[in-house]
Structure 1
Amino acid sequence: MRIETSGGPAEVELDRPGRNKPTFLLVLTHGSGGGVDAKDLLAVRDSAVALGGAVALVTQPYRVAGRRAPGKAEAQDAAWLEIIAALRKKVRGVPVIQGGRSNGARVACRTARAAKVRGVLALSFPLHPPGKPEKSRRDELLAPADIEVIVVNGARDPFGIPDAADATEVHVIAGQAHSYRAGFEDIVAAVTPWLERWSTT
């Protein structure tokens, strides 16, 4: 489906748990130059649907328009909030959680309070630019202080790894860098217990 936003149209793939009413809605998005076909996003989607959730994979407006860079954070965040509002009308009456990988994780953290979501899943959260730990983005990760945030990063991520105190949960996937080439079963094992909380809410 397409959702019109102030930043242009977004594209959304919405998966539901068969004929049953979903118990939660998980909204996920991609990194800066990537897409929603990233294997970690798909692994999380499959786990969430198996637990009874509806999952929306969102291609943000700048990627629909063919750009690799998201542009100004304010405009990106505004469009994201419009997407969440539209999806709430599609899947009503359930807890909403949101997340993404890399830049998508930043958006999910920055907008969590304004979107009034129950939790945030941050995959490969880019704590700082490679080789520049002094330019920390920790304040974005800590922004939704009253919202459950789970972080899953690779142990060899050049963008850094958040500390345990930076989120409700931090999981580190051995041997993996920023873009996962393996370890998807470990990602699912880390995320599934967290998702189960929403499937029984």
Structure 2
Amino acid sequence: MTEIIETDAGAARITWHRAKKARLVLAVSHGAGGGIEARDLQALAAVLPAHGVTVARVEQPWRVAGKKMAPAPKTLDVGWRGIRPALAEEGLPVISGGRSAGARVACRTAAELGAHAVLALAFPLHPPGKPEKSRAEELLGTGAPTLVVQGGNDPWGRPEEFPEGAYELLEVPYGDHGFAVPKRADISQEQALAIITDGVVRWAVSLV
């Protein structure tokens, strides 16, 4: 089921994957270079409803409008704020999440929107090759239980680069920024996705 939501940044779109007996809602948005068809977002939408978590995959207004370039972070935040009422209608605690740029949005707005928890997939800790331009402050300021899922070979921030903080970090071995693993890796692509879904299920269940 899809739903169009009008926000101050334009029309956003939610694709719902509802659990029969939902206890939580996980709202996840995409990054600046892709949409909700990302492999990790699809995997979570396929697996989590069976564990009592309704998944809402959110397309930011710029994607719905067919634009190829993401707007400034402040505009992304505006779009994310705008879908909050639709999530609240479910009457359940909301996990605010996203991948890459979407993870930054979730982190930046978590406290303001009263997120029950935050799921940061492929958090872009810094631009590739520029570790001095850290975005750790966004991650450390969520004010809510936070799970970071990071590829072991993510050029936007490898797990060992992340600072200590009040969050949990799950590593996907060999994974790049899109959690793709090379054919020479000791794990398959399916196993990599299972690490993500199993880890998120365990973490989400612990929040209830």
**TM-score, normalised by the number of residues in structure 2:** 0.88
Structure 2, gaps ≥5 residues long: 181-188
Structure 1: stretches of 5+ with no match in the other structure = none
Within 5 A, what are the aligned runs for 1:159-178? 159-161=156-158, 163=162, 165-178=164-177
What is the CA RMSD across the aligned residues, in angstroms?
1.4
Alpha-carbon separation, structure 2, partners of 1:155 and 1:70:
26
- The answer on whether the counterparts of 1:125 and 1:161 sit within 8 Å (CA) in structure 2 is no
Q: CA deviation at 1:161?
A: 2.8
Identity within the alignment, %: 42
Contact 1:62 1:70 in 2 (8 A): yes
Could you tell me which amino acid in structure 2 is paired with residue 78 of structure 1? V
Confirm or deny: 8 A CA contact 1:150 1:170 kept in the other structure: yes
* Greater RCO structure (CA 8 Å; 6+ sep): 1
Q: After superposition, give the CA deviation of every residue in 1:158-184 in whole Å (9 maximum; x if it has no partner).
A: 001352623420111111111122210
In the TM superposition, residue 53 of structure 1 has moved relative to its aligned partner by 1.6
The verdict on how the C-alpha distance between 1:167 and 1:184 changes in structure 2, with shifts beyond 3 A counting, is farther
Q: What residue number does 1:129 align with?
A: 127
Q: Secondary structure at the match of 2:83?
A: helix
Instruction: Report matched runs for 1:37-186 at 5 Å.
Output: 37-89=37-89, 91-92=90-91, 94-144=92-142, 146-161=143-158, 163=162, 165-181=164-180, 182=189, 183-186=192-195
* Mapped contact 2:30–2:98 kept (Cα < 8 A): yes
| TM-score (ref. length: structure 1) | 0.91
Retained in 1: the 8 A contact 2:108–2:141? yes
Alignment match of 2:9 (pick from 7, 10, 15): 7
Asked if the contact 1:32–1:102 (Cα under 8 Å) also holds between the matched residues in 2, the reply is yes
Please name the residue that 2:198 is paired with. Answer: 189
Corresponding residue pairs, total: 194
